[in-house]
Amino acid sequence: MKTATELIAKYDIPAPRYTSYPTVPYWSENPNTNQWLDKIRGRLSGENSSLSLYLHIPFCESLCSFCGCNTSITKNHSVEEPYLEALLAEFENYRTEVPDLSRRELRELHLGGGTPTYLSESHLKFLMESILRNLNVSSRPEFSLEVDPRRTRDTQLGILRDFGFRRISLGVQDFDPEVQRLINRTQPYEMTERITDVSRSLGYDSVNFDLIYGLPKQTIDGMKRTVEKTLKLRPDRIAFYSYAHVPWIKAAQRLFTEEDLPSGAVKRELYEISRRMFLEAGYVEIGMDHFALPSDSLSEAAKSGTLHRNFMGYTTKTTDMLLGLGVSAISDSWDCFHQNEKIVKKYQRQISENRFATFRGHKLNDEDLIQRALILELSTTGKVRVPDEILEDVRLYLSSMEVDTLIRWEGNLLSLTETGWPFLRNACTGLDLRLRRKSPESRVFSKSI
């Protein structure tokens, strides 16, 4: 029987994170704006349909060299007002074109970025007042935000708390000073500790830390210290991501060389040791890349079978429509994806001239819808019943994982074993017909481990 290290080495291949299916590199049937609006109208036509909102704030004051997000780097805060005007104009355009938008229950709202707390207190208040005005907000909504502890003030967190925000995600990455220097993110432990404590004192009941393994100059001992410091603060959730080195896409990653990165074997050990420490500390492994305390709603959703996954990652609520607002934001009506223009000035100009900023998207065909449902079920529950017409093909594709006891079959029921959870992304590729028919023509996915 192979050791955990040997298994990780064997299955450490490029694989999607499956926040959508088809994954973005395989989008092909682009909707125009009118087709997209029709999709929203159809999705929200039912009286009991529900809504999630994602608001993208792209601005950061400094560039983190590891970052793969869509960001705009500037210390000139005069950019705030015109950007918010465009985002709110976009939302009003949607409300005009889709009257049901204001009537349907808003269950989720997420502020992402960039750095949402780049915005001033007055602009955060203005944004939330404008967005929530005349919306049908759920009696138990989940409002969440991402923050950079270096750029976050207590007063900002207090304002958002008053609007119903209770879940907060802190960008941490690593506590080692040398790693922080190389990724241009100097953030002392005490700073993260303070924002964690302030958040909890204000009533945020779910605190998440984002950590990354595979960063330049990370070592086994250094990673252990980062995990130990993380466990000392006991965040409710931990997102533990593999660093994706894609300098051909993100030029900032050229600030360090591949020689600075842990070797494949070391990177795999960074993951294996950290995962073991999380589990021994009482965290529950949730799907891909996530861990949560048993008391957290994410663990409860996984246990009850109500866990969901979309462009916001794992969520505890399922809604009919995810509407993304702002530059590069992605929306999802289940049968169609839609992404906004990715450059801030172009986005603002398109909103002012054309009312919407359609950049690209994908209209799912019948096969896409079937495979999407299968991958979603596998990625949230760890098991799925594979249709007879593709069963033989999927079993053959995943035969190596079966031999290595990472998965098991009971008839057409595919299940991950306890050992197999770290290889969930690999198992999902067996159901990804688009990826399997056409191998990526360029390096578009990060390694699975």
Residues making up the annotated binding site for [4Fe-4S] cluster are 60, 64, 67
Binding-site annotation: residue ranges? 54, 60, 64, 66-68, 113-115, 146, 173, 185, 210, 244, 330
> Would residue 411 be called left, alpha or beta, if left means φ above 0 and alpha means ψ between -120 and 50 degrees?
left
CA pair distance 127, 77, nearest whole angstrom: 15
> Would residue 363 be called left, alpha or beta, if left means φ above 0 and alpha means ψ between -120 and 50 degrees?
beta
Alpha helix ranges (H) inside 282-440 = 297-304, 344-354, 366-381, 388-397, 399-403, 424-429, 433-437
With residue 238 as reference, give the H or E element that holds it. Answer: strand 237-242
Three-class SS state of 93: helix
In this structure, what token pair is assigned to residue 219? 């070592």
Binding-site annotation: residue ranges for S-adenosyl-L-methionine? 54, 66-68, 113-115, 146, 173, 185, 210, 244, 330
Cis peptide before 214 (omega within 30 of 0): no
In this structure, what token pair is assigned to residue 90? 């976009």
CA pair distance 350, 329, nearest whole angstrom: 14
**The residue to which tokens 């015109």 are assigned:** 82
CA 71-241-213 angle, to 5 degrees, is: 105
**With contact defined as beta carbons under 8 Å apart, do 99 and 361 qualify?**
no
In this structure, what token pair is assigned to residue 118? 């780049």
Strands 59-60 and 336-340: unpaired
Greatest Cα-to-Cα distance within the chain, rounded to the nearest angstrom: 62
With residue 200 as reference, give the H or E element that holds it. Answer: helix 189-202
> Would residue 214 be called left, alpha or beta, if left means φ above 0 and alpha means ψ between -120 and 50 degrees?
left
Q: How many residues does the chain have?
A: 449
CA pair distance 234, 316, nearest whole angstrom: 20
Residue 273, classified by CB atoms within 10 Å of its CB into exposed (0-12), middle (13-18) or buried (19+), is: middle
CA pair distance 433, 439, nearest whole angstrom: 10
